A and B are shown apart, each in its own frame.
Chain A
Amino acid sequence: MDVARGVPSRVLVVWCPDWPVVVAGAGPEAPAVVVAANLVVACSAAARAAGVRRGQRLRDAQRHCPVLIAAPRDINAEARAFEPVVATVEEFCPRVEVVRPGMCAIGARGPARYFGGERALMQKITEAVTGRGITCRTGIADGMFAAQLAARTGGDGVVVPTGGARRFLAPHPTGLLEHQELANLLAQLGIHTLGDFAVLPAQDVLARFGDVGAIAHRLARGLEPRPLAPRPPSADLSAEMEFDPPALQAEPVVFAGKALADRLLGNLAERGLSCARVEVEVSFTGGRTYSRLWRHDGLLSSLAMAERVRWQLDGWRTAGGHSPQPGDGRRPVGGPPADDADNDGSRRGITVLRLIPDQIVPDEGTQLGLWGEALVSNRVARAATRVQSMLGHGAVTRPVLAGGRGPGDQVMLVPFGDSRTPRLPADRPWPGRIPAPSPSTVYPVPLPASVTCASGEPVTVNGRAGISAPPARLAIDGGPLREIIAWAGPWPVHEQWWDPAQARRLARFQLVTSDGDAWLAVVEGGRWMIEATYD
């Protein structure tokens, strides 16, 4: 790479179109979309032909194509399913950079010489990936940005000649810069293509559009987005941890990964550097070492790195069948270990985890929001991580308020370190939601109960929300009879009646027993249950 002038090296990009849709299990003929936060993030070819576009709201998409199949996004599944593709590409070049699930890249210069030219390399890779039953496209150009575009444009692959990236990019719209605000601004200024943008003087672009504009301008000119550090740093900035005895489970390795990532970022921060890629290298018992490069859009946080370690280990565990046999001796680095192919038959343990920073750039700092999300202090994060390392990632949760009517529906528990938005938003009207005050004890599994009237008959609720007799006694889970001294209800709820699988029809009661306790009871299908206690 001609680092000094920022001219990027040759990059080959393998792109699997509509990857989220493929992972969701829809064929290209079926009109399917994958949605996140009610916006279409990917659509199948059939859906696209019907007028569905990325970024549309689901309802708009359904207007274009009423028979649309919508699936929620599962980014972990996407990463796992992409593992076989990465493994295939690794047979051509061991250092594969996963841009995101659905797209990976390799440096093309060396492999192209070995396999007889860039076009031949592209054809071989396409055939190998297609041989696994996965549709893919490839493209070669100078630098990642142009190569991604090359993979997207060509039918069976475009090779942009060396030095031709700028000319190749010129006719494309500025919207490709993936910075919507900037693209809108440029459009207002009458700059519609990357070519128009590239002819502007770099200093003026920096002065007018700031850092973001300068990076976009470099991309449009076919250069690396940020000037790389002039030489590789002399110090070893990587962080590693040995496991003795070897770790058999993924979880301890992931948590070690969090600590390692902290140390790695600390090393970099001391020198005023930052990295845009990180190589995760895992050594197994028996001396085998496997590694993978991960790119993060923007700069990596320690949690993001740990997440990638988890994806990597998850992917290797599930993709055992796709990996080459360890005995074939072709690749010392870069493939998943196959559990079933282990020679000694014992479970493979992880001995060393190493995180190596790649693409070191000077740290220009990031501006945190002046107002906004509460940041987790280091002290709290350390405590939570320690508990996670004892009990597992999902054992420490942070509650997120969600929408719903029942007391248990309105809260979603998100593992510490993950961020997730609730499926149902809380700030909507939820008619029929149980009124304040909220119960302070909500049973995860409602307790069976029996409610009887004064004569000992079970109390029933009919379809018109009428009760057979006033409730007089309550027995919870076979416990002693309690006398009911006050009650309110029934409050009928008929939820999701349009979906037979999810439909619920129930009636809620508040009951106060003579010992002063208050209960939230629900009767569904003739059965009484205690959902919550006010105590």
Chain B
Amino acid sequence: MSVSTVSAHLRELTPEQQGEELLPVLPALSGLLPGGGLRRGSVVAVERPGLLCLMLAAGASAAGSWCAVVGMPQLGVLAAVDAGVDVSRLLLVPDPGSRWPQVAAALLEGCELVLLRPPARPSAQVARRLAAHARRGGGALVVVGGVAAFEGANLWLRAACPQWIGIGTGHGRLRGRRVQVVAGGRGSGARPRAQWWWLPGPDGAVAIAEQTGAEPAAVEPAGAGLAGAGLAGAGLAAAGLAAAEPIVPDLATADRVVRAEGTELVAIGQG
């Protein structure tokens, strides 16, 4: 997504999103986040490095904030640019070594959004201290690598059931990916919510995937198991659940999702 389109999206942000409390996010994300934006001083955990955490940074970056990325030497800068991150306001600390808590704390003083991939699982004390730094600096800390890895995260996000389109066996190329993004957390964000997204879409932009009707013509089912899970997601939507509603899966869906995702989502389904 080019910066101009992001700017265009940002102009459509509601006034409370632009307020002091919230960092702006891409419009697609606002439905998943409590309050419709990234609360300043909050800690967000993202399960895996990838486009999802870059997207979290994109809205704030396009709106003029500085972003720092700590401990991710393999960050794809081009993907970040495509997601809408302004590369002229991006700091990278690829290898913070053993002093990563201090590095992240120092960057939280200056940047409004810090993406951190801790080299080791942080102790509870370090996690508390970083959360305090985030609150004091008024920025947001996005911790990558395992939802459970960071205690005290206000919000967690994960992407599940990826389905690639545009690529076949020996022909085509990767064009877009439909993915189910699940969000949960504490307090106002405690109810797990899920949405199907284009991450990225066939036009390069991140958008909420339409859920009614058939799959887009270009879609080639990415595999039997995944296709099953994907169709289950589509069925969910067809059953009339709004995108940002908590998942109330029927048992069959839960079973399928669990197969693709492991045990954690079972808890979500039951909660």
Contacts and interface: CB of A to CB of B under 8 A. Distances in A.
A399 B77 contact: yes
A382 to B, nearest CB: 6
A181 B82 CA distance: 39
Contacts, number: 171
The 10 closest A-B pairs by CB, nearest first: A383-B110, A535-B50, A438-B78, A516-B162, A440-B79, A438-B79, A411-B77, A380-B110, A399-B77, A386-B106
B164 A382 contact: no
A532 to B, nearest CB: 7
B263 interface: no
B164 to A, nearest CB: 5
Interface in A507-535: 510, 512, 514, 516-518, 532-535
Contacts of B92: 396-399, 413
A387 B76 contact: no
B75 A441 contact: yes
Given A383-B111, A487-B169, A532-B76, 16 more contacts: A383-B110, A384-B110, A387-B103, A391-B96, A391-B97, A397-B93, A437-B175, A437-B176, A439-B79, A440-B54, A441-B49, A443-B74, A488-B168, A488-B170, A517-B162, A534-B174
A518 B103 contact: no
Nearest to B88: A374
A384 B170 CA distance: 46
A435 B173 CA distance: 8
Interface in A299-344: none
Nearest to A491: B173
Given A390-B103, A407-B78, A410-B78, A512 B167 contact: yes
Interface string A477-488: 000000001111
Nearest to A519: B174
Interface of B: 48-51, 54, 66, 68, 73-82, 86-97, 99, 102-103, 106-111, 161-164, 167-177, 200, 204, 220, 222-223, 225-226, 260
Nearest to B200: A437
A401 interface: yes
Nearest to A400: B87
Q: Which residue, of B54, B90, B173, has the highest number of chain A Cβ atoms within 10 A?
A: B173
A437 B91 contact: no
A154 to B, nearest CB: 47
Nearest to A511: B167
Given A383-B111, A444-B74, A516 B174 contact: no
Nearest to B72: A441
Contacts of B81: 401, 438
Given A510-B167, A516-B161, A395 B82 contact: no
B50 A441 contact: yes
13 contacts: A380-B66, A383-B111, A391-B93, A391-B95, A391-B96, A416-B91, A441-B49, A443-B74, A444-B74, A516-B161, A518-B174, A534-B174, A534-B177
Given A396-B93, A441-B75, A486 B169 contact: yes
B222 A510 contact: no
A107 to B, nearest CB: 43
Contact of B87 (A396, A401, A518): A401
Contact of A377 (B66, B73, B90): B66
A439 B82 CA distance: 10
Contacts of A373: 88
Q: Which residue, of A396, A444, A487, A517, has the highest number of chain B Cβ atoms within 10 A?
A: A396
Interface of A: 373-374, 377, 379-384, 386-387, 390-391, 395-401, 407, 410-411, 413, 416, 435-444, 470, 485-488, 510, 512, 514, 516-518, 532-535
B170 A437 contact: no
A380 B220 contact: no
A436 B82 contact: yes
A390 B78 CA distance: 28
Nearest to B107: A383
B76 A442 contact: yes
Nearest to A378: B110
B251 to A, nearest CB: 23
Contact of B79 (A397, A437, A516): A437
B91 A411 contact: no
A410 B86 CA distance: 16
Given A437-B82, A440-B79, A534-B177, A390 B99 contact: yes
Contacts of A401: 77-78, 81, 87
A441 B74 contact: yes
Nearest to B49: A441
A530 B111 CA distance: 33
A443 B49 CA distance: 12
B91 A512 contact: no
Contacts of A435: 173-174
Contact of A442 (B48, B74, B90, B103): B74
Contacts of B73: 444
A387 B96 CA distance: 9
Q: Which residue, of B49, B79, B91, B174, has the highest number of chain A Cβ atoms within 10 A?
A: B174
A438 B99 contact: no
A390 to B, nearest CB: 6
A410 B66 CA distance: 22
Contacts of A416: 91
Contacts of B161: 516
Contact of B111 (A380, A395, A487): A380
